[in-house]
C-alpha cells in the first residue's frame, strides 16, 4: 500500500466523523491522524502477507 498523505487522512477522518455524526475538535486531528496512519500501516502488513491456498482458519478456543 502506498502511504496516504495528510490530506487523504484528513478526508478519511472527516468522512468517518460525518457518517457517524461525530463532532471532532480540530486540536485532536493530529492525534487521530497519527493513530489512523499506524492502523492503516498494520492493515497493510497483514494484507501483504500471502497465505497458501490450503490455509485453514484457526480454531476457536473458549475458556
Nearest to 9 by CA among 24, 46, 47, 21: 24
pLDDT at 1 over 60: no
10 contacts 33 by C-beta, under 8 angstroms: yes
Model confidence over 20-62: pLDDT tens digits?
A: 999 999 999 999 999 999 999 999 999 999 989 999 888 888 8
pLDDT at 16 over 90: yes
pTM exceeding 0.75: no
Residue 58 to residues 11, 34, 61, Cα–Cα distance (Å) = 36, 31, 9
Amino acid at each position: 500500500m502506498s502511504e496516504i498523505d495528510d490530506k487523504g487522512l484528513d478526508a478519511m477522518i472527516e468522512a468517518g466523523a460525518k457518517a457517524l455524526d461525530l463532532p471532532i475538535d480540530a486540536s485532536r486531528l493530529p492525534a487521530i491522524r497519527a493513530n489512523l496512519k499506524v492502523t492503516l500501516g498494520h492493515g497493510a502488513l497483514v494484507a501483504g502477507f500471502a497465505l497458501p491456498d490450503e490455509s485453514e482458519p484457526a480454531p476457536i478456543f473458549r475458556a
